[in-house]
Amino acid sequence: MTYAMTVLGKKTVETLGCIYAHEHLLVKPAGADLKYADYTLDDIEKSTHEVIDYYSAGGGTIVEMTPINYGRNVIGYKNMAKKTKVNIICTTGFHKEEFLPEWFDMKNDDEIIKIIVDEIRYGIDDTDIHPGVIKCGTSYNQITKREKRVFKIISEVHQYTGLPISTHCDKGTMGIEQINLLLSLGISPEKILLCHIDSQENFDYAVELCQKGVNICFDHVGRNLTDSDDLRINMLTNLFRNGCGGQIMLAGDMGKKNYLSSYGGKPGLTYILKVLKPKLEKKIGIDGVRKILIENPQHFFGYIS
């Protein structure tokens, strides 16, 4: 059987339904910069209500991509999953250099690998909650020395555990460089998901990434609706026409107050299912949308047990 690891335990991938591959439900970025105040989602009731709306619109699973030292709240995710009937997959690993924990440089690679592997095998923060994906990230237009170290660590964790790797490409940059680094570290391309790729708004770039054999996530839909997301819809349509349909996933990455309806923002977690999905179905068909929202992420986040 093929399973995915959720905050409520293993679930067969067939039960996951529609999957958003990169979201934030409860998050509190480290750092004193006031710009991160809007990225703090710490009201469990509001976030739970947002997830209930997602379920009502036809949603089944949310991959919560808040990693170590970025305000991860696994108990909160578990309580939300219980209340909403939505499967939540949480993550381990790290964000880009700006958000690495203070202890990162004080520990050697083996010590950090053990921390992450223990989360996967035994549970996060002395709980019975296990992550279902590993995160690593790079900075805008560069991969720093410390980020290269993170990629090496995460690659070893993947080799030990088999969990897939989902990356942060800052504003969509460094995708090719991330792929080359991960491949050099022995990671199979189908185990890699590059996120935020659509924020580059560059079709040729997206095709080039897919030609490397990796998966890509369009997760900045609903951010700038001056064109009603026509640009992204056209990019997705052309990616399908170029044979890349089996490597694409969708999400909104709505980790900010002014993106979520329950916090007084828009468009909210229902946007993809209520607004984008019908438009996309007219371009790539019901089966194409099913591939992006259900089949591809089920395959990526699933494992044999």
Provide the pLDDT for residue 34. 73
pLDDT digits (tens, 9 = 90+) for 278-294: 999 999 999 999 999 99
pLDDT number for residue 303 = 83
**Domain layout of the chain by residue ranges:** 2-304
43-101 pLDDT, tens digit per residue, is 999 999 999 999 999 999 999 999 999 999 999 999 999 999 999 999 999 999 999 99
How confident is the model at residue 35, as a pLDDT? 76
Q: What are phi and psi of 47, to 5 degrees?
A: -65, -40
In this structure, CATH architecture of domain 2-304: Alpha-Beta Barrel (3.20)
Instruction: Write down the pLDDT at residue 31.
Output: 65
Check if the beta carbon of residue 167 is closer than 8 Å to that of residue 135.
Answer: yes
* Residues lower than pLDDT 70 in the chain: 31-33, 304-305
**d(C-alpha 25, C-alpha 91), whole Å:** 12
Contact indicator for 158, 125 with CB cutoff of 8 Å: no
pLDDT at 37: 85
Phi, psi of 165 (to 5 degrees): -115, 125
Instruction: Please calculate the CA angle 162-187-205 and round it to the nearest 5 degrees.
Output: 125
